[in-house]
Amino acid sequence: MSGALTINGGYLTQRVTGVQRYAREIVAALDGLLRAEPGLTARIVAPPGAADAEGTLPVLRTRLGGRPLWHQCVLPFYTQGTLLSLCNMGSLAASRHIICIHDLNIILTPESYSTTYRTYHRAMLPLLVRRAARVTTVSAFSARMLSEHGFCPLEKISVIPNGHEHVLRWRPQLSVYAAPDAFARPFVFMLGSRARHKNVETIFAIAADLDALGLDLVVAGAKGKNFSSLNEANLPANVHLLGFVTDNDLAALYQCALCFAFPSLTEGFGLPALEALALGCPVVASNAASLPEVCGEAALYADPRRPQAWLAQIKRLQAEPDLVASLKAKGPAQAARFSWAESARKYLDLIKSLSLA
């Protein structure tokens, strides 16, 4: 069926992180574009129990599920025409397959993942990219890693980045953190994660120094199991662990923070940094991996392995209001360079080249 598109809907059963956000936003933007392509029919095929998708594309939920076997043992029987997989995993049976590999963190920072996850993905990814008709990724850095580590030649890879428009739908005024008395002092904002490559320990190492400067450290997503090696009882009093926050909360926190600290050792893209820029929040980011590519001249940078370098950049922001104003102005303009609508158009071009050939 040459004019058919099957979208791998495995992401509809997963918690929404950056990878799943990418899939949801690309599919939602594709939905509108596909309406202008009468010769191309599309549907999403998902495991049982999958959430609804944004937009009007039909979702077919299969009777059988169970990751990871679903991709290899169930999805192939429901695939018609070109298969689009946006979350690092897809079907080996599909020859007309477009697959997005977001990063090679399983190679660059294997300690961030369980042995089972790491082993399975290390075995599958080379086979998937070799079998796929087209491979996409989200940054030039990730494309270079795929090539340098022998997964895929650069000429087979299309860089199709994340976008920023989703933050414009967020409503910070609905968040409890938008209240004038939500925080007693100015604060540095950070997203917490137990994944080693997120490198949150670098910022915790300067928490006491921030306290001496009259600054709090506010961390979203950092309670309970999200930190495997953090003893919350020993944290300085200026550290506030918020746990889970909504998108509206994120918007309020980005907009109220002195800055957003993003100390990752590696990132395929670094969507939180782009979100912060889009909302006018000054960003201090690692001078590593994809982050200079994403943030450009709209952020300050620090060595992810040198806590005192982060403290120095935060001190600059506290002492130089003109620098803060400059970064607040540059952020939205930098973020506007990355568009879900434009990325969806690039996917449509790839789909048409395979489906309508």
Number of domains in the chain: 2
pLDDT at 224: 42
Residue 171 and residue 30 in one domain? no
Residue 148 and residue 82 in one domain? yes
| SS3 state at 262 | strand
In Å, how far from its chain's centre is CA 55? 21
Q: Look at the alpha carbons of 248, 253, 259, 262 in this order and tell me if their dihedral is positive or negative.
A: negative
| Residue 110: domain span | 4-163+339-355
pLDDT at 222: 53
**CB count in 10 Å sphere of residue 95:** 12
pLDDT confidence bin for 232, thresholds 50/70/90: low
pLDDT confidence bin for 227, thresholds 50/70/90: very low
Q: 91 φ, ψ to 5°?
A: -100, 130
CA distance 354 to 21: 25
Give this prediction's pTM. 0.94
**CB count in 10 Å sphere of residue 206:** 22
Residue 139 and residue 271 in one domain? no
pLDDT confidence bin for 2, thresholds 50/70/90: low
Residue 125 and residue 223 in one domain? no
Q: What is the pLDDT of residues 3-60, one digit of tens each?
A: 899 999 999 999 899 999 999 999 999 999 999 988 899 999 999 999 999 889 999 9
Residue 229 and residue 122 in one domain? no
Q: What is the pLDDT of residues 333-350, one digit of tens each?
A: 999 999 999 999 999 999
Residue 247 and residue 149 in one domain? no
**Percent of residues, the chain, with pLDDT higher than 70:** 95
Residue 68 and residue 137 in one domain? yes
pLDDT confidence bin for 356, thresholds 50/70/90: low
Vertex 30 angle, CA 81 and 355, to 5°: 25
DSSP annotation string for 270-306: -HHHHHHHHTT--EEEESSTTHHHHHGGGSEEE-TT-
Residue predicted with more confidence, 355 or 152: 152
Q: Under a CB-based contact definition with an 8 Å cutoff, are residues 248 and 170 in contact? A: yes
pLDDT confidence bin for 357, thresholds 50/70/90: low
Residue 63 and residue 179 in one domain? no
Residue 177 and residue 282 in one domain? yes
CA distance 267 to 142: 8
Residue 131 and residue 272 in one domain? no
Q: Is 282 exposed, middle or buried (0-12, 13-18, 19+ CB in 10 A)?
A: buried
pLDDT at 228: 40
Residue 176 and residue 297 in one domain? yes
CATH number, domain of 147, equals: 3.40.50.2000
Residue 311 and residue 233 in one domain? yes
Q: Under a CB-based contact definition with an 8 Å cutoff, are residues 175 and 252 in contact? A: yes
